[in-house]
Chain A
Amino acid sequence: MERRVSILLVVYTFLVVISVISLYVLGERRADVYVSLNILAYYISYAIIRPSYTSRAVRALNIVLFVLFAIIVAFRIYEVLVS
């Protein structure tokens, strides 16, 4: 596998582990916070490492994760506006 992809997966996994442990220790109970931080960790790793390989599946994954993140953020904003 391309070396950059391997580095991306290692960095991303490391960030996810750190964020999940930190959130749980802090007593966070909202599931969407875990998911949004996970997606953020993926995009940060992707932006830093920029693997040269971008297949159709990877592009689709990027879009799906972005849409999921946008939905979570939109829902949070909606909650703030409604309350």
Chain B
Amino acid sequence: MNTRLLVLGVNIIVVSALLAVYGILVGNSGLVGIALSVGILGGILVVYSTTPQDPSVVALASYSEILVNAVTSTLEDLDLLESRICAVKRDNYTYLVYSKTTCPLGVDPGVGFTGGSPYLAIPASTPSVLVESSSEPTSSTTLLERSLTEILVGEFSACRGVRVEEEGGFYRVHIMGLTGLLKQYLERPVDPFTLFVLVVSSEILRAGCVKLIEKKITPDGVLIVLRSEKSGAEG
């Protein structure tokens, strides 16, 4: 919310209303036209004052930089650069798990071993702006799309739009119009878009494990394919 723009817009609307009243009183329809035009300008400023300000996406980019650097070096040390990532729900927490085994469920935060191979589990808190299911029946795909749009577009301005499709148990998440600040992380083992999608999917789909099946960079953004499972492989 941009308060200065909001105040400016409201002021313009008030002035235009006064001008319109004056125009009507003196019978000058040209003045009324100007007042209406200026009033629309004020209304548009008010609507655009609801756009998130730069610091949210800048802060996310800065946080991503720190996270990517730290996690990438840890993954290198554990020889997990070619590993798979999944989101595991355990004890009301969501863990983003990098592992070469298939979605280990019994993970603890940090570095550990499961089935003889190492894993790195990063605890993630649930984003506060998740869209709750209303009284009317809503599909999980719609809820997931709304929540991701709310977070990635509304909260962080990280992209222009999100589309989710379900196909044979696979969720295809299209993230379009990525912001330049975060695009650079797409080629890295840790990228904020994948992490957001996994955490939000895990929460919305209420699945024990959400696996990243494929990540493909498209001309317009990125396509992330997920599969949710009620239970993964116990570690």
Q: Which segment of B39-47, B67-75, B78-86 sits at the interface? A: B39-47
Are A29 and B47 in contact, with the CB atoms below 8 A? Answer: no
Are B34 and A58 in contact, with the CB atoms below 8 A? Answer: no
The 7 A-B pairs of least Cβ separation, nearest first, read A34-B33, A31-B33, A34-B37, A38-B37, A52-B160, A29-B30, A61-B47
Query: B111 at the A/B interface (Cβ < 8 Å)?
Result: no
Rounded to whole angstroms, the CA-CA distance of A5 and B40 in the bound complex is 17
User: B45 — which chain A residues lie within 8 A by C-beta?
Assistant: 9
Q: Which of A23, A29, A53 contacts B51 (CB 8 A)?
A: A53
Are A58 and B52 in contact, with the CB atoms below 8 A? Answer: no
Q: Which of B34, B43, B153 contacts A34 (CB 8 A)?
A: B34
Are B41 and A52 in contact, with the CB atoms below 8 A? Answer: no
Are A23 and B33 in contact, with the CB atoms below 8 A? Answer: yes
User: B28 — which chain A residues lie within 8 A by C-beta?
Assistant: 29
User: B43 — which chain A residues lie within 8 A by C-beta?
Assistant: 61
Are A2 and B34 in contact, with the CB atoms below 8 A? Answer: no
With contact pairs A12-B44, A38-B37 given, residues A55 and B29 touching in the complex (Cβ less than 8 Å): no
Query: B159 at the A/B interface (Cβ < 8 Å)?
Result: yes
Rounded to whole angstroms, the CA-CA distance of A57 and B33 in the bound complex is 25
Chain B 196-228 against A: per-residue CB contact (8 Å), 1 yes, 0 no?
A: 000000000000000000000000000000000
Q: Which of B34, B40, B153 contacts A39 (CB 8 A)?
A: B40
Are B38 and A52 in contact, with the CB atoms below 8 A? Answer: no
Are A55 and B50 in contact, with the CB atoms below 8 A? Answer: yes
Rounded to whole angstroms, the CA-CA distance of A65 and B40 in the bound complex is 9
Are B5 and A33 in contact, with the CB atoms below 8 A? Answer: no
Query: A54 at the A/B interface (Cβ < 8 Å)?
Result: yes
Are B44 and A35 in contact, with the CB atoms below 8 A? Answer: no
Interchain nearest-CB distance for B9 vs A (Å): 10
